[in-house]
Chains A and B, each alone.
Chain A
């Protein structure tokens, strides 16, 4: 992950660079990332991320567990957006297997995934503000709404974060009417809550000072590094699998994909996530109106679940970007080979470029703004 360093070091006084180890046990690295920073005063000249502290052999485990077991495990890959990891694997398996997914299940998948996108962005918002030094205060407001969504998840999937709800062939459980009406109520009040966050954050002078013009991600550079998700859309690349490679019922839904018209800084990455939350809320509303009756699974959810022999790839648009899953199946009750394409891993690779020549105080402001989940990086 090391990048070339063209460090301009022409000191007039004799100064030394300082090597500083940020992490793996640093309060702000969102897990166990280790960054070796070369500092000139407080300016970062070179960054070397060290990965793998959270490596859990998720791909290997997929080959040693039955499909049914692995479905429950896969939420842990990206623990903040478990619905998407489940969905990516389910879609890949469905591509291999060729089974039909009932329409109601597709709608439910879209609904819970967009809910999950909102919870993920809300958590990002809270922790990002903590990265900026607002240790108390508004970081907790997003958690208020996230809590409501987590309660809805708990009701429908039995779990607050490791859902195991989206299954190969469909979804696990049919929602009750009360659940749907609770969700409807949430979607109605959520835009006001987002206005509340914006009122306190978007206009905050110190927040603007800390984020505007910091960590500018050039469009070309981002494309070279394979950045996806809101981070690259904030830099003006129109890539959103829901639109560019539509899947599930997204073609039937009306929603905007906000795309920036210039190279984005950390503030843009913040504001585009906020806009995405609003769009997700609209999607949920539409799904609630359009939800058809019918079956919820095209495959029997039994322990001996099998996927036909073959290979296939499928990707979904997760809150962090393109989340892809490649599966080779030999028709047995477990996968022959599973390979993940994780957005966090690719997005993290840009970090050394973004941090170059920024003060150490901006390290966390920039690192937080690309929204990386460490288990998703290390798998």
Chain B
């Protein structure tokens, strides 16, 4: 812990910026979604009613538009300070108090820079490229918004029954922007960068999608809200641990600790075993078509299936992270903008606001893939502590204390406790994943393009198919979310 002080500073910086982001987004949502409609409700005209409804419907869009720029600004700073810690440096600490405003200054600088269109460039395409790159990351992430806000009534409008399909479809559009930008720049480095990006996106989207399909298979749904809701109830229910495969263990533990309080001597190891068996062997036995007498064999099969399922889902999670890193062009897959080869790749010729948009979109994409991971694998806004453990740690008391403290705000609908808690957990999980991505960036060199293709087609895609098949079979023996 030689740089403990720096880590502490990063912590304070993170919390401060989270408060700023939360504050801004919360106020914007409140204004558009609650305050204006409340004001308008006193007028009894049709126009007022329609305006109020429009405002409510626009809340998700407003929240995203407020959230993305501020959040991207913070993420840049977070990444730079985080990397500085890994690399025994200090990082930006001069602008504002301890460097808090560094990216704000950078943003202002970029806005005022001259916007150059190079000679011989296709001006229309050149301008369109950053937009095509950025727009899908805003609108593609909309269904996620419904999941991460715990299906708050204002955000229900953006949910889709095929949410994850929409998100994936939208997330594959930005590569068109990169190719456009690379081609329109009239620069050979840009062109090579753009083409590399296309090849990379095609190869790595397959394992990415297959790993998410595996999760959808576990959940039996494409609806992100549905997938999020299924995982409620602590870390043992999350998809990353087999999506309910450990639900039996969870309920057994809950039972154990629920009965532990009144009479400790009641609780023998035997009863615990029975609960476990009841949780696992019955559906497994039914699936295998075994009689009641052979339940130990069936129990063994079920246990194997649980282990296989959990291993498969963990691999799927790793595949998702790998594919996502490639999809958003981060080290070790940052070939489209490989600095030591292609200067800056597809965005070599961009400057000013257009470059800023590319930059913004890159970090937004990182945030979005991290949120997809959080929703699909880590239970979205679910508290990782299971209810039985939370009860022992005094969770309900803490929750009611917070509710008590916030009651005036709840009364004017400024705070909705479930949404608040969900948002806090989501932001913690997402930034945990972002931190992991930063750590990877601070550790690995870059692949070469042919090695990248080898790795994608010969390793990741077969592995993702194997994982998919494993999950198909293993879930037959295990009591996963579906039908439970």
User: Residues of A at under 8 Å CB distance from B?
Assistant: 18, 20, 26-28, 42, 129-141, 144, 200, 204, 206-207, 209-210, 359-364
Partner-contacting stretch, out of B112-120, B338-346, B390-398, B420-428: B338-346
22 contacts between A and B (CB under 8 A): A20-B189, A28-B340, A130-B340, A133-B447, A134-B331, A136-B83, A137-B83, A137-B87, A138-B443, A139-B87, A141-B87, A204-B444, A206-B447, A209-B447, A209-B451, A210-B445, A210-B451, A359-B448, A359-B450, A360-B192, A363-B341, A364-B341
B109 within 8 A of A: no
B446 within 8 A of A: yes
Decide: A129 near B445, CB < 8 A? Known: A137-B86, A206-B332, A209-B451. yes
Given contacts A134-B446, A141-B88, A204-B444, 10 further A-B contacts (CB under 8 A): A18-B188, A133-B331, A133-B447, A134-B444, A136-B87, A136-B441, A359-B450, A360-B192, A361-B335, A361-B449
Contact of B341 with A360 in the complex, beta carbons under 8 Å: yes
CA distance A27 to B448 in the complex (A): 18
Contact of A20 with B445 in the complex, beta carbons under 8 Å: no
Q: Which of B327-352 contact A (CB under 8 A)?
A: 331-332, 334-335, 338-341, 343
Find chain A residues with CB under 8 A from B88 CB. Answer: 140-141, 144
Smallest distance from the beta carbon of B484 to chain A beta carbons, Å? Answer: 41
Contact of A136 with B343 in the complex, beta carbons under 8 Å: no
Contact of A207 with B450 in the complex, beta carbons under 8 Å: no
Contact of A132 with B446 in the complex, beta carbons under 8 Å: yes
Contact of B449 with A206 in the complex, beta carbons under 8 Å: no
Interface centre among B83, B87, B332 (most CB of A within 10 A): B87
* A-B CB proximity, top 6 nearest: A133-B446, A137-B442, A28-B340, A140-B87, A134-B445, A132-B445
CA distance A362 to B450 in the complex (A): 11
B89 within 8 A of A: yes
Smallest distance from the beta carbon of B63 to chain A beta carbons, Å? Answer: 32
Smallest distance from the beta carbon of B451 to chain A beta carbons, Å? Answer: 5
Q: Mark B149-164, 1 if CB is under 8 A from A, else 0.
A: 0000000000000000
CA distance A66 to B340 in the complex (A): 41
Decide: A132 near B340, CB < 8 A? Known: A138-B443, A140-B88. yes
Q: When the two chains form the complex, which single residue of B83, B188, B449 contacts A20, counting CB atoms closer than 8 Å?
A: B188
Smallest distance from the beta carbon of A186 to chain B beta carbons, Å? Answer: 17
Kindly report which residue of chain A lies nearest to residue B89, judged by CB atoms. A140
Find chain A residues with CB under 8 A from B192 CB. Answer: 42, 360
Find chain A residues with CB under 8 A from B331 CB. Answer: 133-135
Kindly report which residue of chain A lies nearest to residue B189, judged by CB atoms. A20
Q: When the two chains form the complex, which single residue of B89, B189, B442, B446 contacts A206, counting CB atoms closer than 8 Å?
A: B446
CA distance A141 to B86 in the complex (A): 9
Contact of B449 with A359 in the complex, beta carbons under 8 Å: yes
Contact of A206 with B444 in the complex, beta carbons under 8 Å: yes
CA distance A42 to B334 in the complex (A): 16
CA distance A353 to B370 in the complex (A): 45
Smallest distance from the beta carbon of B117 to chain A beta carbons, Å? Answer: 20
* Residues of B in contact, count (CB < 8 Å): 28
Find chain B residues with CB under 8 A from A129 CB. Answer: 445
Kindly report which residue of chain A lies nearest to residue B447, judged by CB atoms. A206
Smallest distance from the beta carbon of B342 to chain A beta carbons, Å? Answer: 8
Contact of A133 with B338 in the complex, beta carbons under 8 Å: yes
Kindly report which residue of chain A lies nearest to residue B342, judged by CB atoms. A360
CA distance A42 to B449 in the complex (A): 9
Find chain B residues with CB under 8 A from A141 CB. Answer: 87-88
Contact of B444 with A361 in the complex, beta carbons under 8 Å: no
Find chain B residues with CB under 8 A from A361 CB. Answer: 335, 338, 341, 446, 448-449
CA distance A298 to B88 in the complex (A): 43
Q: Which of B430-469 contact A (CB under 8 A)?
A: 441-451
Interface centre among B334, B339, B445 (most CB of A within 10 A): B445
Q: When the two chains form the complex, which single residue of B188, B340, B442, B446 contacts A27, counting CB atoms closer than 8 Å?
A: B340
Find chain A residues with CB under 8 A from B340 CB. Answer: 27-28, 130-133, 364
CA distance A133 to B188 in the complex (A): 20
Smallest distance from the beta carbon of B256 to chain A beta carbons, Å? Answer: 44
Find chain B residues with CB under 8 A from A207 CB. Answer: 445
Contact of B334 with A133 in the complex, beta carbons under 8 Å: yes
Interface centre among A28, A133, A359 (most CB of B within 10 A): A133
Interface centre among A20, A131, A137, A200 (most CB of B within 10 A): A137
CA distance A151 to B460 in the complex (A): 48
Interface centre among A27, A132, A206, A362 (most CB of B within 10 A): A206
Find chain A residues with CB under 8 A from B188 CB. Answer: 18, 20
Find chain A residues with CB under 8 A from B343 CB. Answer: 26-27
Smallest distance from the beta carbon of B6 to chain A beta carbons, Å? Answer: 14
CA distance A136 to B339 in the complex (A): 12
Contact of A210 with B341 in the complex, beta carbons under 8 Å: no
Contact of A135 with B449 in the complex, beta carbons under 8 Å: no
Contact of A210 with B83 in the complex, beta carbons under 8 Å: no
Contact of A210 with B339 in the complex, beta carbons under 8 Å: no
Interface centre among B83, B338, B341 (most CB of A within 10 A): B341
Find chain A residues with CB under 8 A from B189 CB. Answer: 20
CA distance A26 to B341 in the complex (A): 9
Find chain B residues with CB under 8 A from A362 CB. Answer: 448
Kindly report which residue of chain B lies nearest to residue A137, judged by CB atoms. B442
Q: When the two chains form the complex, which single residue of B443, B447, B448 contacts A137, counting CB atoms closer than 8 Å?
A: B443
Smallest distance from the beta carbon of A377 to chain B beta carbons, Å? Answer: 19
Smallest distance from the beta carbon of A365 to chain B beta carbons, Å? Answer: 8
Q: Which of B163-217 contact A (CB under 8 A)?
A: 188-189, 192
Q: When the two chains form the complex, which single residue of A28, A209, A360 contacts B339, counting CB atoms closer than 8 Å?
A: A28
Q: Mark B114-141, 1 if CB is under 8 A from A, else 0.
A: 0000000000000000000000000000
Find chain A residues with CB under 8 A from B443 CB. Answer: 134, 137-138, 200
CA distance A140 to B339 in the complex (A): 17
Kindly report which residue of chain A lies nearest to residue B450, judged by CB atoms. A359
Find chain B residues with CB under 8 A from A130 CB. Answer: 340
Kindly report which residue of chain B lies nearest to residue A26, judged by CB atoms. B343
Contact of A204 with B445 in the complex, beta carbons under 8 Å: yes
CA distance A265 to B20 in the complex (A): 52
Find chain A residues with CB under 8 A from B446 CB. Answer: 132-134, 206, 210, 361
Kindly report which residue of chain B lies nearest to residue A27, judged by CB atoms. B339
Kindly report which residue of chain B lies nearest to residue A130, judged by CB atoms. B340
CA distance A254 to B441 in the complex (A): 41
CA distance A132 to B334 in the complex (A): 12
Kindly report which residue of chain A lies nearest to residue B340, judged by CB atoms. A28
CA distance A379 to B341 in the complex (A): 26
CA distance A130 to B334 in the complex (A): 13
Find chain A residues with CB under 8 A from B334 CB. Answer: 133
Smallest distance from the beta carbon of B106 to chain A beta carbons, Å? Answer: 17
Smallest distance from the beta carbon of A282 to chain B beta carbons, Å? Answer: 26
CA distance A205 to B86 in the complex (A): 20
Contact of A135 with B447 in the complex, beta carbons under 8 Å: no
Smallest distance from the beta carbon of A360 to chain B beta carbons, Å? Answer: 6
Kindly report which residue of chain B lies nearest to residue A29, judged by CB atoms. B340
CA distance A131 to B448 in the complex (A): 12
CA distance A136 to B439 in the complex (A): 10
Find chain B residues with CB under 8 A from A210 CB. Answer: 445-448, 451
CA distance A359 to B450 in the complex (A): 9
Find chain B residues with CB under 8 A from A18 CB. Answer: 188
Find chain B residues with CB under 8 A from A138 CB. Answer: 87, 442-443
CA distance A136 to B80 in the complex (A): 10
Find chain B residues with CB under 8 A from A133 CB. Answer: 331-332, 334, 338-340, 445-447
CA distance A141 to B88 in the complex (A): 7
CA distance A21 to B447 in the complex (A): 23
Q: Mark B253-286, 1 if CB is under 8 A from A, else 0.
A: 0000000000000000000000000000000000
Find chain B residues with CB under 8 A from A206 CB. Answer: 332, 444-447
Kindly report which residue of chain A lies nearest to residue B443, judged by CB atoms. A137
Contact of A136 with B444 in the complex, beta carbons under 8 Å: no
CA distance A129 to B331 in the complex (A): 13
